């Protein structure tokens, strides 16, 4: 039972993100020595597979090429090179990983809650730093289609075709007695 537990302990060792790779290698070699001392035969090719399986997923680009017929010592050299190249490029802990996701995520503000404090504007949907009206952060920088927003597309000349008569006005002050 002791032999089975020692072998299982070797095979279930995992390299954590914040661990030191040379320390992990040392622990793996010590466990291998203990298992071999108990009479369990583990070849270098099997140990290489156990070592590669102990590494986290972000090591997969380096690990994939090491499963071929490469000797254990050469595989360890390649893993050390990978560790040196990725030392500062991967998260050291899950909390840093979450923080990176939080800082890279754009959270859109509800536009209806924004109120411009510019005394020349006072509209909703933006703040004073992006206001186009005098006194705002983008004073005078109106977009090209600013005056046409929300209106019928087309020019007034196309929509009003040549009537010169003034519009008909209705006198609403008259009563029903006037109509008789």
Domain housing 124: 102-144
Let me know whether 7 and 35 are in one domain. yes
Contact 133, 121 (CB under 8 A): yes
Tally the domains of the chain. 2
Is residue 113 predicted with pLDDT exceeding 80?
Answer: no
pTM: 0.47
pLDDT value at residue 142 = 78
Let me know whether 6 and 59 are in one domain. yes
Q: How far, in Å, CA of 50 to CA of 32, rounded? A: 10
- Domain limit, last residue, from 56, 86, 116: 86
Domain assignment of residue 96, yes or no = no
Domain assignment of residue 47, yes or no = yes
The CB density around residue 41, as the number of other CB atoms within 10 Å, is 7
Domain assignment of residue 155, yes or no = no
**Residue 30 binned pLDDT confidence (cut-offs 50, 70, 90):** very high
pLDDT digits (tens, 9 = 90+) for 71-87: 888 888 888 888 887 76
């Amino acid at each position: 039972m002791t032999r089975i537990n020692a072998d299982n302990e070797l095979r279930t060792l995992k390299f954590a993100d914040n661990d030191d790779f040379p320390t992990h290698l040392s622990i793996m070699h010590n466990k291998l020595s203990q298992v071999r001392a108990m009479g369990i035969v583990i070849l270098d090719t099997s140990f290489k597979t156990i070592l590669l399986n102990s590494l986290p997923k972000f090591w997969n680009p380096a690990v994939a090429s090491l499963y071929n017929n490469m000797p254990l010592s050469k595989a360890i050299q390649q893993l050390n090179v990978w560790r040196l190249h990725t030392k500062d490029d991967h998260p050291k802990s899950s909390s840093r990983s979450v923080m990176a996701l939080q800082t890279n995520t754009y959270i859109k503000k509800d536009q209806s809650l924004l109120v411009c404090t510019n005394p020349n504007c006072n509209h909703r949907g933006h703040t004073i730093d992006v206001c186009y009206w005098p006194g705002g952060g983008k004073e005078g920088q109106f977009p090209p289609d600013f005056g046409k927003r929300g209106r019928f597309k087309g020019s007034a000349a196309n929509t009003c075709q040549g009537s010169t008569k003034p519009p008909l006005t209705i006198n609403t002050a008259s009563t029903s007695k006037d109509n008789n």
